[in-house]
Structure 1
Amino acid sequence: MTLLSPIRAFRLGMALAIVSAFLLFWLSLGVGIIGADGDPANLMYALVLSIGVAGTYIARLQADGMKRVLIAMAAAQALIAAIAVSTGMGKPWSEPLELIALNGIFIGAFLVASWLFHRAAIKT
């Protein structure tokens, strides 16, 4: 038995995805990632969360489908970061480096969760 069994990988992937989605929800709507508190630009992050909810429903919590959902969430997160940085959203409160770092944390978390679901989908 390996250290990272499919069941353990699935549980870790699910935990990381849920915690990351909750933190994204809290930061974007509560505190604000882009700009000051209450900046409407933060509503773009609802797209990432919507992809997660709809994708989870479509994937029916199957590891292979969840892997794809989390890749789509990471891609949407990256797109929002690119839009925010390239258009100068959030200035003067959110500098480009801050936006890249905060979004990068979520992109990384979603990709790690995707990798864990990939590990869970591998038949042993």
Structure 2
Amino acid sequence: MNTSPTLSKKILLLTGVTLSLLLIPLIAMQFTEEVVWSLSDFVLAGILLFGTGLSYLIITMKAGSNTYKIATGLGLGSGLFLIWANLAVGLIGSENNPENQMYFSVIVVGIIGAVLSRLKARGMMITLFSMAASMIVISIIAFSMGAHLYPHSSVMEIIGVTCFFVVPFVLSGLLFRNAADLEIETGTTEAKNG
């Protein structure tokens, strides 16, 4: 008898987790005026949380190794947090600063890389390293535009934000490299991870 949960059960669990996480700001709004979410905030947060979780489930459904699953989770989680932080408070100055739009290009790099690599471990390694490089390029562009002169965007803050996201993207890339090496050692094909 197969005791592993089916995809539909996992999606049901994911829905429950997403709704539970959305209860946190809803409850907080009842006790403090510091948390002010609109209906669109809840909808967007729900889409981001559920979409990231569903992406993880679909991508790792046929994954050949736990290393691939961990790499996928780290990459998706870092991407989710990049979007969330950028929308909530902004990474350069405030959330309304137009330079923050550059950070969405990192996610575009990830999506294009995932599609082109067909989610194969070796291609995903290149994709995550490219996302890390994109973060560095964005910080260089931000410095050249004088973003370090904005309130709440010192040189150290921009470098810190860049490192905060570069490190998990690089770690995820290294894990994908390890997953690709494991496939070669065990004789499995990368197609199992796609």
TM-score (norm 2): 0.59
Size of the aligned set, in residue pairs, is: 119
- Give the Å deviation of 1:37: 2.2
Q: For 1:88-107, what aligned pairs fall within 5 Å after superposition?
A: 88-89=146-147, 91-107=150-166
CA distance in 1: counterparts of 2:95 and 2:146, whole angstroms: 16
Matched residues, percent identical?
34
SS in structure 2 of the partner of residue 61 of structure 1: coil
Asked which structure has the greater RCO (Cα within 8 Å, sep 6+), the reply is: 1
Specify the alignment match of 2:67 in structure 1.
9
SS in structure 1 of the partner of residue 87 of structure 2: helix
Which ranges of structure 1 fall in alignment gaps of 5 or more residues?
A: 1-5
Runs of 4+ with deviation above 6 angstroms: none
Contact 1:17 1:113 in 2 (8 A): yes
Answer yes or no: is 1:21 the counterpart of 2:79. yes
CA distance in 2: counterparts of 1:24 and 1:46, whole angstroms: 8
SS in structure 2 of the partner of residue 66 of structure 1: helix
CA distance in 2: counterparts of 1:61 and 1:80, whole angstroms: 25
CA distance in 1: counterparts of 2:96 and 2:70, whole angstroms: 32
CA distance in 2: counterparts of 1:95 and 1:86, whole angstroms: 13
- Give the Å deviation of 1:58: 1.0
Specify the alignment match of 2:93 in structure 1.
35
Aligned residue type for 1:10? Y
CA distance in 1: counterparts of 2:90 and 2:111, whole angstroms: 21
Aligned residue type for 2:130? A
- Structure with the greater alpha carbon radius of gyration: 2
TM-score (norm 1): 0.90
- Give the Å deviation of 1:28: 1.5
Specify the alignment match of 1:66 in structure 2.
124
**C-alpha distance after superposition, 1:14-73 (max 9, x if no partner):** 000000000001111221000112111100011100000111111111000000001111
**C-alpha distance after superposition, 1:64-93 (max 9, x if no partner):** 000000111111100001121343215122
Equivalent residue in structure 2 for 1:55, among 113, 138, 153: 113
Aligned residue type for 2:146? G
Which ranges of structure 2 fall in alignment gaps of 5 or more residues?
A: 1-63, 186-194
The worse-fitting range, judged by mean Cα deviation, of 86-95 and 6-15 is 86-95
CA-based RMSD of the aligned residues comes to 1.3
CA distance in 1: counterparts of 2:158 and 2:147, whole angstroms: 10
